[in-house]
Amino acid sequence: KQEVTQIPAALSVPEGENLVLNCSFTDSAIYNLQWFRQDPGKGLTSLLLIQSSQREQTSGRLNASLDKSSGRSTLYIAASQPGDSATYLCAVTSNSGYALNFGKGTSLLVTP
Amino acid sequence: EAGVAQSPRYKIIEKRQSVAFWCNPISGHATLYWYQQILGQGPKLLIQFQNNGVVDDSQLPKDRFSAERLKGVDSTLKIQPAKLEDSAVYLCASSPTLSGNTIYFGEGSWLTVV
């Protein structure tokens, strides 16, 4: 069974810092990996989707990398802003199934 | 383009009562998912539909939960009878196909069982 772990569980940084969120998964036979953002009381918004054949994806200040062989992904946020405060969730789709398996998320607080 | 619509947004019921949640996916999306998210946890898949067929319901507590997508468009998730541990956010999501695409989530239906 695929297990997804996110470290750290919570993170507080001052505005302007660059930061890295980590995600690891136990089964490297994945189809793709997605990073989501969840604001309090809201649903999930997809930030980046990395197919298993890709190494990274970029969108604005966000960069996600994927190392399938080691079962790891990182989400890099450059020049963090208070508006980046949210919970960030990592999810993988395994080759053996179609559903997303989620980690518990990293709660990020960016202080002015 | 309209997003995934869910209703009701909030519901409070007593244990052993029943509740139903409705979801209308993005137009043209063949795949529809129901996830359960307990506070502090990541979402857990309850059931996945491809058009009006069930792809995966292995984690659906079938003694109390049921879901249908009769016409391959909107879907209903029902809980009967509810237990205290069913208090969670029920998230509906859709995607164009089974895999390889971005998944779009609704804002969720918040259930409190007292």
Q: Tell me which amino acid residue A98 is.
A: Y
A-proximal residues of B, 60-99, CB under 8 Å: 91, 93, 98-99
Return the pLDDT at B111: 97
Mean pLDDT to the nearest integer, A43-61: 94
Lowest average pLDDT, out of A49-53, A74-78, B13-17, goes to A49-53
Q: Is B34 on the interface with A (CB under 8 A)?
A: no
**Predicted pLDDT at A99:** 79
Task: Name which of B55, B103, B104 is nearest A100 (Cβ-Cβ).
Answer: B103
Query: Look-up: residue for tokens 């990073």?
Result: A35
Does A89 contact chain B (CB < 8 Å)? yes
Whole-number pLDDT of residue B52: 87
Is the bond into B8 cis (omega within 30 degrees of 0)? yes
Hey, is the C-beta of A4 within 8 angstroms of any chain B C-beta?
A: yes
Burial A42-58 (b: 16+ CB within 10 A, else e): ebbebbbbbebeeeebe
Over residues B16-29, mean pLDDT? 96
Question: Does the beta carbon of B39 lie under 8 angstroms from any beta carbon of chain A?
Answer: no
Residue A18 above 90 pLDDT? Answer: yes
> How far apart are alpha carbons A13 and A68 in whole angstroms?
28
Residues of A within 8 A of B40 (CB-CB) are 104
d(CA B23, nearest CA chain A) in Å = 13
Confidence class for position B2, pLDDT limits 50, 70, 90: confident
Report the range out of A81-95, B10-24, B86-100 with the highest average pLDDT. B10-24
* Dist. CA A107–CA A85, nearest whole Å: 8
Residue A53 has pLDDT above 80, yes or no: yes
Q: Does B43 touch chain A (CB under 8 A)?
A: yes
Tell me: the pLDDT tens digits for B50-105?
Answer: 998 999 999 999 999 999 998 889 999 999 999 999 999 999 999 987 666 788 99
* Structural contact between residues B111 and B19, judged by C-beta atoms closer than 8 angstroms: yes
The percentage of residues in chain A with a pLDDT greater than 90, rounded to a whole number, is: 83
Mean pLDDT of chain A: 93
- Inter-chain contact B91–A103, Cβ cutoff 8 Å? no
